[in-house]
Structures are given as C-alpha cells and as structure tokens.
C-alpha cells in the first residue's frame, strides 16, 4: 500500500473535481447515512461516478489500477470524508484504516439476511487464515445448490455487512481453498474485510 500521504494528496486533489451532486450525496451520507435520492439507479450513478474519478486521478499519485486498491480508495474516501473540512487530515485517514470490531453469525444465532453481491476476493488466503481472524465459519455445510461449502456472515460495528465464501470451489476441500469471494452491498464490505485481515500496510 502506498504512503498514506499520497492518499491524502490524492483525496485533496479530487475534492474540487467533484460535482455538486456528488458533494451533496457525500454530505447526506454523513448526515443520515443515505444518498440524497433513494433507489438503485442513483446509488449506481453516485458510486460509479466517484469510482471513475478516483481511478482517473489515482495513477497521478502512483496507485496501481488494481481492483482491491481502487475499492480501498473508494471506501476510504467515503469513510474519511468530512463535510466540515476542506481537506483530509492524516489522523482521520489513519483512523479510518484501523480494523473495526465485528460479530460473526452462528448457525444458532444467525444475522438477519440482507442480500448483496460479490464485492471482492481474498487470494492466496487459506481457511485457517480466515479462522484466525474471524473465528469458525457461520456455515460449514454445503449450500443447497452446492456452490459453497463454507461461509462467514459478518457484521461490523459500523453496520456494514460482509460475507466470505468459497464460491464454486468444486472438488477442493475447504482447508485447501486459497481463493475466497467477499460478498456485501458495496465495496465497503470488502474494505472492512481487507482491513480486518491486515491486507493494507
């Protein structure tokens, strides 16, 4: 991960390039946790516009065009945005990069279903690595459709939900799987998992 000062410079460079609607949406997220307009179409427009702006400018500050890095920058931008400040503070960025507390659902005490889609991946990570961080999986039996064998259902203390699962790893014992999918409702789900797994230096 590049120097945190590069992140600060990138974010300060991006801020004046944001559209008025983007600023209003970020302000709204920080005031009441929602965008200015409900609905998936507006959410998609906001997310894709901000992600595109970050991606276009990130290369100027030495960041690789890597999905995990771009997702991290997108999530960190939203998480550390302060409507009352005109620039980013290093301490706020460092705080936002700290892992959060979490709970993992169990078969006996499951978390409410929220749905979502694939938001990231853990590559070169084994089941034992995940167990060391998140504890035993929520489910360790194959799903009804046979597409997953193991899954963790996670809720972070900021309300973000995430899941880690071995999608379509047919004929591979869970202990030998080294490629895991991260599910959730936004790239923030993957961001929280990456932080907790210690993947950002």
Beta strands 151-156 and 102-104 are: antiparallel
| 26 contacts 47 by C-beta, under 8 angstroms | no
| 41 contacts 53 by C-beta, under 8 angstroms | no
List the beta strands (DSSP E) in 22-159.
102-104, 117-123, 151-156
Q: Please tell me the predicted confidence (pLDDT) of residue 34.
A: 66
104 phi, psi to nearest 5 deg: -120, 130
* pTM of the model as a whole: 0.81
d(CA 166, CA 170): 9
Share of the chain above pLDDT 70, in %: 95
Q: Please tell me the predicted confidence (pLDDT) of residue 196.
A: 95
pLDDT tens per residue across all 201 residues of the chain: 448 899 999 999 999 999 998 898 888 887 776 666 666 777 788 888 999 999 999 999 999 988 888 888 998 998 888 888 888 888 888 888 899 999 999 988 888 888 788 888 999 999 999 999 999 999 988 888 888 999 999 999 988 899 999 999 888 999 999 999 999 887 788 999 999 999 876
Q: Please tell me the predicted confidence (pLDDT) of residue 17.
A: 94
CA distance to 72, 98, 106, 180, 196, per residue, from 201 (Å) = 12, 11, 30, 20, 12
Structural domain spans, the chain: 4-96, 102-196
């Amino acid at each position: 991960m590049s120097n945190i000062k590069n992140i600060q410079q990138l974010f300060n460079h991006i801020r004046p390039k944001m559209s008025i609607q983007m600023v209003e949406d970020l302000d709204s997220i920080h005031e009441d946790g929602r965008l200015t307009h409900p609905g998936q179409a507006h959410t998609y427009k906001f997310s894709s516009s901000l992600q595109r702006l970050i991606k276009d400018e990130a290369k100027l500050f030495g960041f690789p065009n890597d999905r995990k890095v771009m997702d991290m920058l997108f999530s960190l931008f939203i998480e550390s945005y302060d409507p009352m400040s005109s620039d980013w503070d290093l301490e706020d960025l460092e705080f936002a990069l700290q892992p959060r507390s979490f709970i993992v659902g169990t078969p006996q005490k499951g978390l409410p279903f929220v749905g979502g889609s694939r938001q990231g991946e853990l590559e070169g990570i084994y089941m034992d690595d995940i167990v060391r961080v998140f504890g035993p999986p929520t489910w360790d039996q194959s799903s009804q459709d046979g597409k997953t064998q193991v899954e963790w259902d996670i809720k972070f203390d900021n309300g973000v939900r995430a899941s880690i699962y071995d999608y379509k790893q047919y004929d591979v014992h869970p202990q030998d799987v080294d490629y895991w999918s991260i599910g959730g409702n936004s790239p923030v789900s993957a961001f929280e998992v990456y932080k907790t797994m210690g993947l950002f230096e």
